[in-house]
A = this chain, B = another copy of it.
């Protein structure tokens, strides 16, 4: 980065989460002044321990981005805003669609309106998702692929993507969207089964348990190591952008079997088992996926640098000493039990303020 972030003021939403906290730590290293906003909504992956090593060098605001007017002064000061707050679980979104709409669309809308008000034209880097593409019509998937999400999460993340793009086209923000693929690495939540198979595999491998593969194991994913994602966010935070939407993707497309085998080896040989998809999972399964990340390579010089084998080795190394901080003792089976007030018993309404 050649010191480009030294003394820059950055705001990170969702900064207690997996990717946000890794980004915060790197920005502290780079000499930036870092403020994190995170309301620690249950099920979204926030973990205060993620920032333990830099806790005295990061300003943490425990607020929801929907209440951005309460931290307007932080928005005004920011040179760059990294916007990673959100819910990523496809399964949660199908169980509680209004909760997902609140977290991923309503809150983003309100946050961005405050950004427009207090920091017009500010660079915002949004953590989008490959989930907006749905079942790939071709591989690898580039940014021109049709948008066709298979779950509420993809729909609402795409609405938030469009908020960023539309407000930028109108000159009110200067946003860029990074569409992430399956990201893994230190600080990912291990106690939220519904956040994706990589966290589940990791947790089970670390505990010496068998890895359950749904389907025949030949489905492809392109896992991306978190340090590579952080690098992309740093580049996108300051770069002159010919485009506004960029896919990120891993170095190698790998089958689920290959992914599981690599993790099993790293764990000293836990068994693999193959299981049929449940109806719930099958209905939102997207088949094989890998990203075409040539656009960001061409325009910003980014590429994934970490092989899956190396990334998994570093990930295991982290969790071997820190595992206790990532297992919820109240949730031993890693079954998602969302608190009732984030679930089905609540609904969205227009209320007076």
8 A Cβ contacts from A112-154 to B: 113, 144, 146-152, 154
Pick out which of these stretches binds chain B: A158-166, A174-182, A203-211.
A158-166
How distant is A136 from chain B, measured CB to nearest CB, in Å? 14
Pick out which of these stretches binds chain B: A11-19, A95-103, A252-260.
A95-103
Which residues of B lie under 8 Å from residue A170 when comparing CB positions? 150, 283-284
State in angstroms the CA–CA spacing of A110 and B237 once bound together: 37
Bitwise, A318-353 to B at CB < 8 A (1) or not (0) is 000000000000000000000001100111111111
Q: How many residues of A contact B (CB 8 A)?
A: 43
In the complex, are the beta carbons of B158 and A162 less than 8 A apart?
A: yes
How distant is A205 from chain B, measured CB to nearest CB, in Å? 31
In the complex, are the beta carbons of A348 and B106 less than 8 A apart?
A: yes
Which residues of B lie under 8 Å from residue A349 when comparing CB positions? 348-349, 351
CB-based nearest B residue for A147: B147
Which residues of B lie under 8 Å from residue A342 when comparing CB positions? 350
How distant is A229 from chain B, measured CB to nearest CB, in Å? 25
State in angstroms the CA–CA spacing of A205 and B315 once bound together: 70
8 A Cβ contacts from A26-79 to B: none
Which residues of B lie under 8 Å from residue A351 when comparing CB positions? 346-349, 351
Best-buried of A106, A150, A152 by chain B (most CB within 10 Å): A106
Which residues of B lie under 8 Å from residue A162 when comparing CB positions? 147, 149, 154-155, 158
Contact of A346 among B98, B169, B353 (CB under 8 A): B353
State in angstroms the CA–CA spacing of A171 and B150 once bound together: 12
A303 contacts the other chain (CB 8 A): no
29 A-B contact pairs sorted by A residue (CB < 8 Å): A97-B113, A98-B106, A101-B106, A102-B350, A105-B105, A106-B348, A109-B152, A144-B146, A147-B147, A147-B162, A149-B166, A150-B166, A150-B169, A151-B166, A154-B162, A154-B166, A155-B159, A155-B163, A155-B166, A156-B159, A158-B159, A159-B159, A170-B283, A170-B284, A171-B283, A342-B350, A345-B353, A346-B353, A347-B353
Closest 5 CB pairs of A and B: A155-B162, A346-B350, A106-B348, A159-B159, A170-B283
User: Which A residues have a C-beta under 8 Å from some C-beta of B?
Assistant: 97-99, 101-102, 105-106, 109-110, 113, 144, 146-152, 154-156, 158-159, 162-163, 165-166, 169-171, 283-284, 341-342, 345-353
What would 15 more interface pairs be, CB under 8 Å, given A150-B170, A171-B283?
Answer: A97-B113, A98-B106, A101-B106, A105-B105, A152-B163, A152-B166, A154-B162, A155-B163, A156-B159, A158-B159, A341-B352, A342-B350, A345-B352, A348-B349, A349-B351
